[in-house]
Structure 1
Amino acid sequence: MWDNHRTLHILANGIFTLAALIAVFVISPSVINLPIFTLNEVSVGGINNINGEFKHVKREQINSIISSEVAGSFFTVDLDKISNAFEKLPWVRTASVRRYWPQSLEVVLEEHVALARRDNLALVNIHGEVFNAVTDKWLPAFTGPVENSHEVARQYVVFRKLLKPLQQIIIQVDFSPRRAWRIHTKNGIVLELGREQVEARLELYVSAHGYIISQFKQPVTYVDLRYQNGFSVRTLDANRQHSRNPSLKKVV
C-alpha cells in the first residue's frame, strides 16, 4: 500500500481534513454551539430491566435529573456530572452516559438487586455492597462487621444452596468479629458453624437431618456443629414448652 502514491495521497488528505475539522471545533465556540449540535434526545435504559421498565427507579426521578443536569451541546455536555447525579439515586448502582452523534445521549443504569438487610439499617446487594434504600420485600438479615459484607454475601449464597434439599430458608446469618458463623432458619433452628470447615459442617447437618428428626420428638431449636466427631442438639422439652426451657443432647 505504501508504494501506491494515489492511496497515500487520499489517506494524507483524509488525515489533514480530520485534523482541520478537530481544530475548528476546538478553536471555534461558534461551531461547537451550532444548532445542529444541540442535544434533543436523551434515552435512558437499564441493565436486566424487564420491558424497559425499572423495578425501583422512578420515571419522575429520571426526568428530574435530565432537566437539571443535561445542559450544553453535544461537545460541552458534562457526562460525569450526569452519571454522578444518577448514581446518587438510592437504587442506582452504576450509571454510564455516552454521546451519540450529533444530538443524542444514552444513559444506561444498573439497579441494585437487594440480597439481604444489614443490621436493619441498610441493604446489601448481590455483589455484597451495602447501600441505603427502602423496600417492603422480605429479605434475610446479615449481622456483623460491615466491612465483611462481601464475604457474608458470598457465604450466604453457598449456605442457601446447601440447605436447599431440606427446603430450609435462611432468615439470618451472623458473622462475628472473631469470624464465627451462625445460621438462623425460618423453622426456628439455629445452626452453630464456628470458624472452620463451615461448609463441611453444614453438609454434615444436611446429611444427618433425617436422623436428627427421628431421634427427637420435641422440636429441634439448636444444632452445634463445632465438634470434631459429632454435634449437639438442643430441643424444647415437651413438658416445658410453655416456659421455653431447653434441653441439650450430644450426638456422636
Structure 2
Amino acid sequence: MLGAIWNDDKLMSIIAGFFFALAMVLLGYACVQWVINRPVFELRRIELRGDVDRINLIGFQSQVVPQVRGSFFSANLQNIRRLVEAQPWVRKASIQRAWPNGLRIQIEEHSPLATWGESRLINTFGEVFSANLAEAGDERNLAELSGPVGSEAMVANMYVKASERLKTLGMWPERIELSDRYGWSMDTDTGLHIELGREQENFSIDQKMERLLKLYPRIEQEVMPKIVSIDLRYPRGVAIKGDRMAALKVNNAASVKLN
C-alpha cells in the first residue's frame, strides 16, 4: 500500500505541499514568538488616567504592578483590569496597550454619597465599597445609610430624594435606615426623627413625605415650636413629640413663648 502512495505523483505532490505549508506555519510562529519576546516589548511603564485623586500610588505599586505579566503583545488585559478594579476607590477601569512597552489605564473612581453601615461607603450609583473613610473628605458631610442586603440602591435613591425635599424645610437627612421589614426612618441634622414606615398600597412613601412638607411648618408655627419626632405611618393623622415651650431672643432680651 505504501508503495502505491510513493508512486502516486499527484498524491505525493499534495503531501509535499502540506508539509511545506506546515513548515512555513511553524517557521512563522517561531519568528513571531522571537519578535514579541524581544526586550524592547517588555512592559516597562503604566500610565494612569482619569479620576486618580484618591488612588494610593504606593499601594498600587506594591499590589498591582508586581502581578502584571507578559509583554506588550501577551499581557492579559482582562486580568489586569480585575487587579486594578480590586483597589480601593476604583469603580471601573479600562486597559489599553501603549506602544511599544506600556499600558494605559483609564480609571473611574467611586464618588462617595454616604457611609453604609459602620465601616463602608456607598457611591452615587448605589454601590457599596470598602475604602478608608478618612479619604472620603469631611465625614461630617456624609450621611449614614443602612438597610438589608440588596437594598443599597433603593436606600441611596431615597437619600437623594429626601435631601431635595427636606431642603425646603431647611433640613438635611443625616441618617436613613431601612429596616429588615422594609420600614423607613430618618434623622435630620436639626435633631428631628422621622418615622415613615413601610410602603402602603393606598399611602405611599412619597405621599408621606408630601404630608411632612405640608404639615411640618404649620405644626411648628401653631402647635409645637420644638418638634423632636414625627410619625407619619398613619393614613389619617400624624403623631408628634416635642417641646411646647421655646425661648426666643427679642432685641437682645430673653423671652418665653407658651403655646
The TM tier, using the shorter chain, reads 0.7 to 0.9
Provide the rounded CA distance (Å) in 2 between the counterparts of 1:35 and 1:133: 38
Deviation at 1:33, TM superposition (A): 1.4
Aligned to 1:64: 62
Aligned twin of 1:114 = 112
Q: Deviations over 1:22-45 (max 9, x none)?
A: x94687310221344333442111
Amino acid at match of 1:42: I
Aligned to 2:131: 133
Segments of structure 1 that go 5 or more residues without pairing to the other structure are 1-19, 240-252
From 166, 169, 184, give the equivalent of 1:166: 169
- For 2:88, the equivalent position in structure 1 comes to 90
Contact 2:49 2:105 in 1 (8 A): yes
Amino acid at match of 1:87: E
Distance 1:32 1:222 in 2: 70
- 2:215 pairs with one of 178, 188, 208: 208
* Structure 1 equivalent of residue 194 of structure 2: 191
CA–CA distance in structure 1, aligned partners of residues 164 and 91 of structure 2:
26
Deviates more, 1:33-42 or 1:123-132: 33-42
> What CA distance in whole angstroms lies between the structure 2 residues aligned with 1:154 and 1:122?
17
SS at match of 1:117: strand
Distance in 2 of aligned mates of 1:104 and 1:150: 37
Distance in 2 between residues matched to 1:72 and 1:110, nearest whole Å? 25
1:65·1:86 contact (CA, 8 Å) conserved in 2? no
1:145 aligns with 2:148: yes
Task: Render the CA deviation track for 1:190-248: whole Å, top value 9, x for unaligned.
Answer: 11112121122112211222211112345101111122233221113649xxxxxxxxx
CA–CA separation in structure 2 for the residues paired with 1:43 and 1:133:
23
Provide TM-score, normalisation by structure 1.
Answer: 0.75
1:45-89 Cα offsets, whole Å, 9 max, x none, are 12xx3xxxx332122233335641333221111223322222222
Aligned residues: 213
Letter in 1 for 2:181: R
Secondary structure at the aligned position of 1:39 is classed as: coil
**Which residue of the partner structure matches residue 226 of structure 1?**
233
Counterpart amino acid of residue 105 in structure 1:
L
Instruction: Please tell me the root mean square deviation across aligned C-alpha atoms, in Å.
Output: 2.5
Q: Identity rate of aligned residues, in percent? A: 31
- DSSP 3-state at the match of 1:147: coil
Q: What does residue 178 of structure 2 align with?
A: 175
Q: Is the 8 A contact 1:159 1:199 kept in 2?
A: no
Pair 1:155 & 2:127 matched? no
What do residues 65-123 of structure 1 show as CA deviations (whole Å, max 9, x unaligned)?
56413332211112233222222222112222111343331101121111122221321
**Counterpart residue identity of residue 84, structure 1:** R
Bigger mean CA offset, 192-201 vs 37-46: 37-46
| TM-score of the superposed pair, with normalisation by structure 2 | 0.73
